[in-house]
């Protein structure tokens, strides 16, 4: 169990996240087939393979730099809405780690700043059936957990994200390619929300071991 | 229905291979930026307003096939059905902007909007002037009071055609932007899908339609439309699509329009011509005259069966730019 | 595979409806003879050699879509996959021949040959001069020593394009005939089919191919080809088609050619561009240069999945006529 | 039983032939699907519906005229190879009835002259798996039956045509759309040969009643 990660440990965590996402390509694609255009898994795979390629064997100068590098790789290679959204999340969120390691307060700030940037970039708010519906509750939970240490913060953020994914099943999409689906989007989770919860799950698992 | 068969090599490489094939098909009229999914017209005149188009691949000939004389200067191509990333868009800007600025024209999708916006912001930081026209012609996608929530479909062609000819004529970005907006604001489209196309990388169809059903208003990626119904006649389909199109702008007696019939993939020209017959009857009855007709494949969705109808209301300026000759791999008109 | 869905009214009326739709799509550039499946260019100059093309419908845009400026003067359209009858052909002759005579260009099929021959004989009795060029570009259909047994497929386009431009230039039927024969004699094609199209009137596919098989050399109506095999890669398909094409004329190092990639129906432009990439590599390795590329739908077989490749060996005269601008509903090039 | 048909009886016979063919549209199409382009029944139907329309209610001046009119309708409306072949057959063959009624000698001459015209028009010979493989034996049988009366002549011609159809199953097509089928055309009858045998069957049945 780690309560703070060094730059190179953060790199290893991001590599673990990348592996976790890439392994779930088909599942993410299937979720997008239900309510989107069926390419979400393919895109996330491209983006996180680029993260692996970028970070593998590199010696990061800081946590901020390595998180930003991951965001840059995602933004360049994922494509689609997910590339802009997850790229923006990591790139903007990375500023939370300016001058610090990957710790509980940093994670809370990371989620908060990332959320603000994503909302600004895409113009969406909670309740529109996007990854924000996993990210916003995760950010709130992390803020709540402040002082509780890194593993607890990530565990609570992750649980909130998973609950957020569940909640997206009851939402009608009003943005993205599922927008015009109307009522027919009911019952299906949002693909980007699932991806976000997987990212936190992989982070939580990395820190817990 | 079984999985459609395709003529491919490694499905993960479709975009790069199709772009190479496109450059070759242009017989000297296109270059591809190194290691980039960006096609550029060679020898762009200095001081020309740069027209950059783009979006996900898989809709050929749009966007990659519309780079050429009196059309776009560059196309930035994402993976299949995925918006291109900002770094590719930035490279396109660097390749085409010699000081007069850049106009983006693309379809209004969350992914495209965000990626092009990021690129525009970064480019402006570097001193480029960028204007953006998002095309939102798909009447099926949202009510008129939320027109900016609508998707861009085959109407992209009209905006690109007009903007391309304007950018070849004027060196003032504001003017090109103005006329491109006018083209966009006077364009309305409606589509119908009979069967899904499939994504090369997965081989899966993007949606499932029962064997005897069609969907009016379905989007170019299989996004749901306004009504799913039993397969009906060509005349009935034309009536439904035209009713929604005409009422929306609205188009009125005395209007002069350009008509575009777009094949979404595997529909035959025979079917499209049969639909055209009815469309023209409807327009004649409504007192609307057709200045010109374009019929063929513009924005496809792989081998989706279906088609869309687009109308652009014309004035003299739009007519002039629409009628200018053009030449690219995807569209050529004397 | 299930029956393909189509956008039709009464399937028995497809030809008449599609021709009406085509006339309307030409925005004044076409007229249809009363009660006839014959499309004619209006205002044909007096003394012009008349170019008449035709054949069964269902292959749109060929033949009906190729009547226009610098192309054919009339198209005589049979029912789906059935040659037109002599009386219709005679009406076309009457409409286009003002004394300089008439050239027929059509694909080499028993039905077309007989019906056009009957018409030619009757027309000559009435004092018209008629010359005939049957196109037999399909390498798959018979060995070279029986070339006159070969079918006409997408290579029709090259012959029509060249003959159309020549007939717009020269008023001497013998000269137009000579250059049309030269275009035909220098053209070779090979196709591949992945899945069958269906006939509108029956709704049935014209043949059945197992889900994982393709057929090299299959004809435009599903006539069997040279080999049925497992679905393979785009590069492998291109290699097989090109090997047969190049060896047949044969095309040699130093030759300059025009390249035509024809969509048989529901194949995506993406796939065709991927094939083009390989085709150009093969040609480059063989020392053959490509003067121009046309890619799109020329001769289709309803929604058949598949494509064909055609090459025409060029000289200065063929280049000149091939490069002349042209405009019709089915083909336009600036 | 008739041993000679007047012009108006010949018209009625041709109307019966037309009805007989039109009723067999699907069967003819299916046969063409096996070795051709699947349109033979549709074409024959168009041609023989035109025959009905042309002859119904008309009062023919002569047997020659009514047979020729049928051929003209077939030629104009059938389309395809069949339109030229069957149109030529009836139009050219009609000259056999110049100045005479529809009788045994007329039928024998009709088949002979029709065969010559078809061979000339299409350049095919017996053995190439076409309607000639039904027509040629029918013409030979009718010549053989000379003096035997109309019903016997048609019965023998018809039997020969049916046997000819059977024989086409063992032939490899060398003309028409089945040409490139090669060995694969084996086992299937030729669609045009089937049509020809149906025409003779309908004539035989008309005369026999
Ligand atoms: N405006 C937005 N704000 C936040 N997330 C968004 C927005 N638009 C789309 N998304 C997320 O992106 C996901 C879709 O990603 P993906 O399928 O890769 O892209 P695309 O929609 O371009 O095909 C959605 O499930 C949603 O979570
Ligand atoms: N050269 C020919 N001579 C005699 N009969 C022919 C010839 N070519 C074709 N046919 C006949 O025409 C029939 C096909 O008719 P159809 O299917 O209507 O025309 P198409 O082949 O144009 O589709 C063949 O089965 C054959 O009997
Ligand atoms: Mg998606
Ligand atoms: Mg997408
Ligand atoms: Mg036919
Ligand atoms: Mg046939």
Using alpha carbons only, how large is chain C's radius of gyration in Å? 19
CATH number of the domain residue B291 falls in = 3.30.1180.20
Q: What is the ipTM metric for this complex?
A: 0.91
Instruction: Name the residue at shortest CA distance from atom 6 of ligand 1.
Output: A130
User: pLDDT tens digits, residue range A110-147?
Assistant: 999 999 999 999 999 999 999 999 999 999 999 999 78
B159 and B246 assigned to the same domain: no
Residue A146 lies in a domain: yes
Nearest to C82 by CA among D43, D174, D73: D43
Q: Mean of the pLDDT values across residues D33-58? A: 92
What whole-number distance in Å separates Cα of residue D98 and Cα of residue C4? 51
pLDDT for res C222: 76
Residue A27 lies in a domain: yes
| DSSP string over chain A | --SSB-HHHHHHHHHHHHHHHHHTHHHHHHHHHHHS-S-HHHHHHHHHHHHHHHHTT---S-HHHHHHHHHHHHHHHS-HHHHHHHHHHHHHHGGGGTTS-B-HHHHHHHHHHHHHHHHHHH---TTSSSTHHHHHHHHHHHHHTTTS-HHHHHHHHHHHHHHHHHHHTTPPP-SSTTGGGGGGGTTS--HHHHHHHHHHHHHHHHHH-
Residue C334 lies in a domain: no
What whole-number distance in Å separates Cα of residue B188 and Cα of residue B142? 12
Q: Which of B215-224, D40-49, D174-183 has the lowest mean pLDDT?
A: D174-183
User: pLDDT tens digits, residue range B247-281?
Assistant: 999 999 999 999 999 999 999 999 999 999 999 99
Q: Which of A12-16, A37-41, B145-149, B237-241 has the lowest mean pLDDT?
A: A37-41
Write out residues with Cβ below 6 Å of ligand 2: C 81-83, 110-111; D 32, 36-37, 39-40, 43, 80-82, 85, 118, 122-124, 130-132, 175-177, 190-193
A168 touches A193 (CB < 8 A): yes
What whole-number distance in Å separates Cα of residue B299 and Cα of residue B264? 6
Active site residue B128: no
Nearest to D193 by CA among D31, D3, D52: D31
Residue A1 lies in a domain: no
Residue B331 lies in a domain: no
Has residue C97 got a pLDDT over 70?
yes
User: pLDDT tens digits, residue range C230-269?
Assistant: 999 999 999 999 999 999 999 999 999 999 999 999 999 9
- What are residue D151's phi and psi, to 5 degrees? -70, -40
Residue B170: which H helix or E strand, with range? none
C270 and C302 assigned to the same domain: yes
Measured between CA atoms, how close is C224 to chain D, in angstroms?
A: 5
What whole-number distance in Å separates Cα of residue D124 and Cα of residue D181? 17
Confidence class of residue C202 from pLDDT cuts 50, 70 and 90? confident
Q: Which domain holds residue D95?
A: 7-208
What whole-number distance in Å separates Cα of residue D189 and Cα of residue D194? 7
What whole-number distance in Å separates Cα of residue B228 and Cα of residue C83? 39
Judged by a CB distance cut-off of 8 A, whether residue B9 touches chain C is yes
pLDDT for res B2: 63
Nearest to C60 by CA among D198, A132, B261, B212: B261
> Does B297 sit within 8 Å of C269, measured CB to CB?
yes
**Two tokens, residue B126:** 């570097």
Q: Which domain holds residue B211?
A: 187-322
Catalytic residue among B36, B41, B48, B59: B59
CATH number of the domain residue D117 falls in = 1.25.40.340
C309 touches C255 (CB < 8 A): no
Report the number of distinct structural domains present in chain D.
Answer: 1
Measured between CA atoms, how close is C238 to chain B, in angstroms?
A: 10
B222 and B89 assigned to the same domain: no
The partner residue sitting opposite D79, judged by closest CB among C83, C140, C206, is C83
Residue C179 lies in a domain: yes
User: pLDDT tens digits, residue range C107-158?
Assistant: 999 999 999 999 999 999 999 999 999 999 999 999 999 999 999 999 999 9
Has residue A182 got a pLDDT over 70?
no
What whole-number distance in Å separates Cα of residue C36 and Cα of residue C86? 12
Ligand 1 atom with least separation from CA of A32: 17
Measured between CA atoms, how close is B317 to chain A, in angstroms?
A: 34
B300 and B282 assigned to the same domain: yes
Residue D2 lies in a domain: no
pLDDT for res D177: 61
Write out residues with Cβ below 6 Å of ligand 1: A 32, 36-37, 39-40, 43, 80-82, 85, 118, 122-124, 130-132, 175-177, 190-193; B 81-83, 110-111
% of chain A at pLDDT higher than 90: 85
- Window D:139-178, CB contacts with C under 8 Å: 175-178
B297 and B221 assigned to the same domain: yes
Report the number of distinct structural domains present in chain B.
Answer: 2
> Of C185, C215, C233, which residue constitutes the final position of a domain?
C185
Has residue A180 got a pLDDT over 60?
no
B147 and B121 assigned to the same domain: yes
Q: What Cα–Cα distance (Å) separates residue C269 from each residue in B21, B272, B329?
A: 10, 18, 11
To 5 degrees, how large is the angle CA B30–CA B36–CA B40? Answer: 25
**Two tokens, residue A11:** 């790199």
Nearest to B11 by CA among D197, C270, C73, D171: C270
Residue C330 lies in a domain: no
B67 and B102 assigned to the same domain: yes
Confidence class of residue D140 from pLDDT cuts 50, 70 and 90? very high
> Does C329 sit within 8 Å of B290, measured CB to CB?
no
Residue B285 lies in a domain: yes
SS3 percent helix, strand, coil of chain C, rounded to 5, is 35, 25, 35
Residue A166 lies in a domain: yes
Instruction: Give the per-residue SS3 of C315-330.
Output: CHHHHHHHHCCEECCC
% of chain C at pLDDT higher than 90: 91
Residue D69 lies in a domain: yes
**In which residue ranges of chain B is pLDDT below 70?**
1-2
pLDDT for res A38: 84
- What are residue A12's phi and psi, to 5 degrees? -65, -35
B139 and B216 assigned to the same domain: no
> Of B137, B161, B185, which residue constitutes the final position of a domain?
B185
């Amino acid at each position: 169990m780690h309560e703070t990660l060094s730059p190179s440990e953060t790199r290893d965590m991001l590599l673990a996240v990348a592996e976790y996402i890439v392994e779930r390509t088909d599942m993410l694609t299937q979720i997008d087939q239900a309510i989107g255009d069926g390419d979400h898994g393919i895109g996330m795979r491209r983006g996180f393979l680029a993260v692996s390629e970028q970070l593998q064997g590199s010696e990061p100068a800081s946590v901020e730099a390595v998180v930003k590098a991951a965001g840059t790789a995602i933004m360049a290679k994922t494509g689609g809405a997910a590339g802009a959204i997850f790229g923006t999340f990591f790139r903007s969120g990375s500023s939370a780690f300016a001058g610090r390691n990957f710790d509980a307060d940093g994670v809370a700030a990371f989620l908060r700043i990332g959320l603000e940037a994503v909302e600004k970039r895409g113009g969406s708010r909670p309740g529109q059936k996007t990854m924000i519906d996993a990210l916003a509750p995760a950010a709130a939970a992390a803020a709540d957990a402040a002082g509780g240490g890194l593993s607890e913060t990530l565990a609570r953020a992750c649980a909130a994200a998973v609950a957020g994914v569940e909640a997206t099943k009851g939402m009608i999409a009003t943005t993205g390619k599922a927008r015009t689906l109307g009522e027919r989007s009911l019952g299906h989770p949002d693909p980007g929300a699932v991806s976000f919860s997987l990212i936190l799950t992989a982070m939580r698992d990395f820190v817990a071991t | 229905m079984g999985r459609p068969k395709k003529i491919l090599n490694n499905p993960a490489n479709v975009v790069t291979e199709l772009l190479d094939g496109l450059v070759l098909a242009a017989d000297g009229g296109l270059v591809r930026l190194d290691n980039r999914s960006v096609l550029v017209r060679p020898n762009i005149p200095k001081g020309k307003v740069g027209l950059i188009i783009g979006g996900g691949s898989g809709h050929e000939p749009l966007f990659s096939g519309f780079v050429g004389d009196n059309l776009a200067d560059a196309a930035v191509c994402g993976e299949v059905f995925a918006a291109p990333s900002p770094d590719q868009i930035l490279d396109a800007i660097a390749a085409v902007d010699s000081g007069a600025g850049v106009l983006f024209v693309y379809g209004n999708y969350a992914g495209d909007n965000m990626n092009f916006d990021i690129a525009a912001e970064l480019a402006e930081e570097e001193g480029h002037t960028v204007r953006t026209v998002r095309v939102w012609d798909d009447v099926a996608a949202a009510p008129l009071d939320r027109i900016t929530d609508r998707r861009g479909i085959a109407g992209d062609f009209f905006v690109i055609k007009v903007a391309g000819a304007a950018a070849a004529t004027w060196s003032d970005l504001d003017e090109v932007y103005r006329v491109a907006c006018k083209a966009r604001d006077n364009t309305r489209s409606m589509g119908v899908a009979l069967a899904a196309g499939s994504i090369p990388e997965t081989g899966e169809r993007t949606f499932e339609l029962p064997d005897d059903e069609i969907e009016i208003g379905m989007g170019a990626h299989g996004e749901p439309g306004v009504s799913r119904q039993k397969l009906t006649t060509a005349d009935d389909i034309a009536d439904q699509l035209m009713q929604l199109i005409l009422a929306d702008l609205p188009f009125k007696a005395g209007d002069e329009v350009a008509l575009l019939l777009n094949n979404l993939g595997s529909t035959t020209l025979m079917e499209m011509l049969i639909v055209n017959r009815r469309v023209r009857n409807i327009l004649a009855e409504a007192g609307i005259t057709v200045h010109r007709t374009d019929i063929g494949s513009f924005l496809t969705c792989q081998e989706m069966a279906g088609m869309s109808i687009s109308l652009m209301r014309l004035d003299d300026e739009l007519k002039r730019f629409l009628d200018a000759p053009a030449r690219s791999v995807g569209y050529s008109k004397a």
